Structure 1
Amino acid sequence: MNRQALDAYEKALSLEHPSTLSSMANLASTYMNQGRWREAEELEVQVMETSSRVLGAEHPDTLTSMANLASTYWNQGRWKEAEELQAKELETCKRVLGAKHPDTLASMNNLASTFCNQGRWKQAEELEVQVMETRKRVLGAEHPDTLISMANLAFTFKGQGRDDEAIMLMEDCVQLREQMLGLYHPFTVSSQATLNDWRMETWNFDH
């Protein structure tokens, strides 16, 4: 269906029309969900370059297309290419939207994830602390997005072997998720399972 829609838009409009670009992005998303990375990448590059030329490098649609292409690189383990795009997107978001904007924080979180996957824990931690503290200040300490940031930072502590800090932060996350989301919410259950595993690892090490 996405392929048919794209063909129709290309015939009726032009390759540079927003509806055509949107349809192209949707088809790329479908390819991504099927693991057809090369086909997704080809479309996403075209969308990003066209959006940048027609709408401008700082337009929200251009930034979204940049994030989509970075995600495709990320899912293939192409960390350096993902990092380059994510860093560029983050700087643009900061400049255009401001450091507290949700899109800026999401961009910062994505770059932190890329650092984590390269074992660059300190750089990841620096970004994750910024995201968590900003979300606490702007959204509140109990907001679901703040709790996601808290869990991410706990995993980064764990990746550095800072087990006590990781466990303490995950305990706080579990407690708040139980209060805000409920005992049986998937996020609560997942966090509790992680916490149990970490506690068991620590217990086994001590004994």
Structure 2
Amino acid sequence: MWCCGSSRKKASSTSSRPPQDDLPDEMPENPTPEQYKAWEEQHITGLKQCSDQLGPESEESLTIMASLGCIYADQGKWNEAAEIRQTVVEKRKRVLGKDHPDTLTCMGQLASTYVSLGRWAEAESLQKEIIAISESALGKDHPNTFTAMGDLATTHLEQGRLDEAEKLQVEVVEICKRVLGPDDLNTITVMSNLASTYRGQGRLGEGAKIEESVTEAFQRTLEPEHPVALMNVSNLATTRLQEGRYEDAEALGRNVMETRKRTLGPDHPSTITSVANLAAIYSAQERYKDAEQLEVEVLESQKKGLGLEHPSTLLSMNNLAHTWKALGKDEQALSLMSECVELRKTQLGPEHPDTLASIDAVTLWSKYMP
């Protein structure tokens, strides 16, 4: 739930002349891919110097490692983020203890990385551990506690467990409003997540009402190109799509895609997701050739960046199979969807709603194959 603010600060170094001293003390609000690369290299160099001079488990070294993990995550480098965050968690548990707030924060960041990698069981286990420790030691109103609750709700949402997600999100929204205030970025983010859950439940009116409130709050507090603001615009595009307002949905979706390409680069996972969302809007308008072109691009990018078995890759396989079916490419559609079914059974489980939907498609399509 939290924005990864630690990546905004420059890595400290114990040398008399820190590496890449021309970098600013804090990263710009919306860094370019080139700025991220420079920041990443500076942190790697600073971490080596700090580890050599103060030790790999010094507070300074662990702070730089945690910051580097955020830089990786901001760029969508989930495997690199997971690896370094696992190390930080292990070291902080050893040095500070598992109940320390800094340890719990790092555990939460690792769990969020697992969600991004589709490693939901590991994420859920870690999030439940954080909630139990934090609520006992710090209380339910402490940021570590309600952050973990919000993150667990997101994990449920990703797995299609909408009722469980809603129950947690409603509770977290009330806590955030009371503790942080209604205009705090984290409060608004949780409200946006709740709107997504309502959409998934088919409660479009309730979701749209929250999204309008969220949009107004973002306009007051964030620049239009802020990642969280863009996520809200993307969610709003989804709502417009579900309402059948295709022109509005396309305009919003295209704006998000073009902005992310410019600010994050074409290969960033968030950019690729926005391309996939635009393809879905094309499909809803029966512009299947346009959708196919984007979906092929998305699937190849996700296979390369996320791996064949990642849930997002499997969703793209499912979508492309449906597009091929609509274009009359029956054999290609059935072959791809059959592959998707087997992978989803393994990765999501045989009873997951997405798995069942893919199975239904294969069953239906097989009946009418010549």
TM-score by length of 2: 0.45
In structure 2, distance between residues paired with 1:3 and 1:144: 25
Change (3 A) 1:129 1:18: same
Structure 1 unaligned regions, length at least 5: 202-207
Kindly provide the amino acid, as one letter, of the partner of residue 167 in structure 1: E
Secondary structure class of the residue paired with 2:129: helix
Whether 1:171 and 2:251 are equivalent positions in the alignment is: yes
Task: Determine which of 142, 149, 170 is the counterpart of 1:66.
Answer: 149
- Preserved contact between residue 198 and residue 204 of structure 2 (Cα < 8 Å): yes
Whether 1:77 and 2:157 are equivalent positions in the alignment is: no
In structure 1, distance between residues paired with 2:263 and 2:94: 52
Structure 2 unaligned regions, length at least 5: 1-82, 288-370
1:26-82, CA deviations, whole angstroms, 9 ceiling, x for partnerless residues? 554465455443343233112112212212211111121111211221222111111
Whether 1:41 and 2:124 are equivalent positions in the alignment is: yes
Kindly provide the amino acid, as one letter, of the partner of residue 131 in structure 1: V
CA shift, 1:10, in A, is 5.0
1:77-101, CA deviations, whole angstroms, 9 ceiling, x for partnerless residues? 1111111111111111111111111
- Preserved contact between residue 6 and residue 23 of structure 1 (Cα < 8 Å): yes
CA shift, 1:123, in A, is 1.1
- Preserved contact between residue 105 and residue 144 of structure 2 (Cα < 8 Å): no
Kindly provide the amino acid, as one letter, of the partner of residue 149 in structure 1: N
1:138-193, CA deviations, whole angstroms, 9 ceiling, x for partnerless residues? 33556554443233223212213x32xx4235425645875896499655973765
Q: What residue is the counterpart of 1:204 in the other structure?
A: none
Task: Determine which of 124, 137, 140 is the counterpart of 1:57.
Answer: 140
- Preserved contact between residue 189 and residue 228 of structure 2 (Cα < 8 Å): no
**What does 1:48-127 correspond to in 2, within 5 Å?**
48-127=131-210
Secondary structure class of the residue paired with 2:165: helix
In structure 1, distance between residues paired with 2:95 and 2:251: 56
Secondary structure class of the residue paired with 2:128: helix
- Preserved contact between residue 233 and residue 256 of structure 2 (Cα < 8 Å): no
Kindly provide the amino acid, as one letter, of the partner of residue 130 in structure 1: S
- Preserved contact between residue 150 and residue 170 of structure 1 (Cα < 8 Å): no
Kindly provide the amino acid, as one letter, of the partner of residue 147 in structure 2: T
Kindly provide the amino acid, as one letter, of the partner of residue 66 in structure 1: M
Aligned pairs, number: 198
Q: What residue is the counterpart of 2:242 in the other structure?
A: 159
Kindly provide the amino acid, as one letter, of the partner of residue 90 in structure 1: V
Change (3 A) 1:155 1:54: same
In structure 2, distance between residues paired with 1:179 and 1:3: 32
Taking only aligned residues, the RMSD between alpha carbons, in angstroms, comes to 3.5
TM-score by length of 1: 0.74
CA shift, 1:110, in A, is 0.6
Rg: which structure is higher?
2
Indicate the percent of aligned positions where both proteins have the same amino acid: 35
In structure 1, distance between residues paired with 2:204 and 2:259: 30
In structure 1, distance between residues paired with 2:158 and 2:124: 11
CA shift, 1:6, in A, is 5.3
Kindly provide the amino acid, as one letter, of the partner of residue 222 in structure 2: L
- Runs of 4+ in structure 1 off by over 6 angstroms are 1-5
More helix by share: 1
Secondary structure class of the residue paired with 1:98: coil
